[in-house]
Amino acid sequence: MANDHVIVHGERGCTGKSQTLQPGAYDTSALDDDDFISSVTIPKGWTVTLYEDSKFAGRSKTLTATGDVGDDFDNITSSLTVSSPDKEAIVKVGDTHKDGKGSTITVEQNDVDVDSKSLLKLTQRFPPKYESIMVLSFTMTIDQPGM
């Protein structure tokens, strides 16, 4: 089974009309058809979240294994998201400045050249929280003096 993309299918049992999807968010206009998905082929470790309505609204269902979407979600998906384990590493670091002690957080990307989509975002100034999305691989060192 291919392990670098998700396939959505129009019939149960991973048959019928199909569409191949890379990691990302797909609103109704990005899908071949509205309300056509009945089963999904999902590589190990990947996650697919289906939404009943467009713009990622309405009821949602998260799938992590290949199979039918189930009676409750058959032929109603109008938008969805696809995430792969190695392209979505979310790192949240908080409370690193307790008691005013300084801390050092170092995030290093292992392969900067092929990792143009990486983003390290400061989501909260104090205590500092960082959110890292779309990182292929990295090493992180947290140095907290006094601990």
Residues that bind Ca ion (CB under 5 A): 35, 76, 78
**Could you tell me the smallest distance in angstroms from the CB atom of residue 74 to Ca ion?**
11
Give the residue with the Cβ less far from Ca ion, 55 or 97. 55
Cβ pair 45, 74 in contact under 8 A:
no
**Residue with the closest Cβ to Ca ion?**
78
Angle CA(143)–CA(115)–CA(65) in degrees, nearest 5?
90
Sign, CA torsion 115/117/123/125: positive
Q: Please state, in angstroms and rounded to a whole number, the distance separating the CA atoms of residues 33 and 17.
A: 10
Using the minimum distance from each CB to Ca ion, give the nearer residue, 80 or 135. Answer: 80
Least distance from C-beta 23 to Ca ion, angstroms?
22
> Quick one: 29 or 139, whose CB is closer to Ca ion?
29
Minimum Å gap between C-beta 58 and Ca ion is: 7
Phi, psi dihedrals of residue 22, rounded to the nearest 5°: -85, 170
